Amino acid sequence: MSRCPECGGKMKYIPNTKAMVCQSCGLSLSRFELDNYWKKIRSENFTEADESQQRKNRRKEWLEWYSKSKSEKEGF
Ligand SMILES: [Zn+2]
């Protein structure tokens, strides 16, 4: 069962128009368009996950820098 990329509703295939139509919001896409839509969403989600990982790494680097500079200060 395909899911609507907009609202998560059920998509129903309409043979007459060769389109997938959302039962909840009425979004109409061809199977090809629906495929691309999901690919786009997945790549965006991937980018978001990537960014949060980068943010964590940045925070880790900052903490390392902070503890390093602290021990350097204590050395004086
Ligand atoms: Zn929908």
CA of 36 to the centre of ligand 1 (A): 16
CA of 13 to the centre of ligand 1 (A): 13
Query: What pLDDT, on a 0 to 100 scale, did the predictor assign at position 75?
Result: 64
CA of 17 to the centre of ligand 1 (A): 17
User: Is residue 52 very low, low, confident or very high in pLDDT (cuts 50, 70, 90)?
Assistant: confident
Residue 76 in this model has a pLDDT that exceeds 70:
no
3-state secondary structure of 8: coil
In the chain, what are the domain boundaries?
Answer: 11-75
CA of 28 to the centre of ligand 1 (A): 9
CA of 42 to the centre of ligand 1 (A): 17
β-sheet with 19-22: strand ranges across: 11-14, 19-22, 28-29
Cα pseudo-dihedral 10, 13, 14, 16, rounded to 10: 170
The two three-digit tokens of residue 14, written as one number? 């309409």
Residue 4 in this model has a pLDDT that exceeds 80:
yes
User: Is residue 14 very low, low, confident or very high in pLDDT (cuts 50, 70, 90)?
Assistant: very high
3-state secondary structure of 70: helix
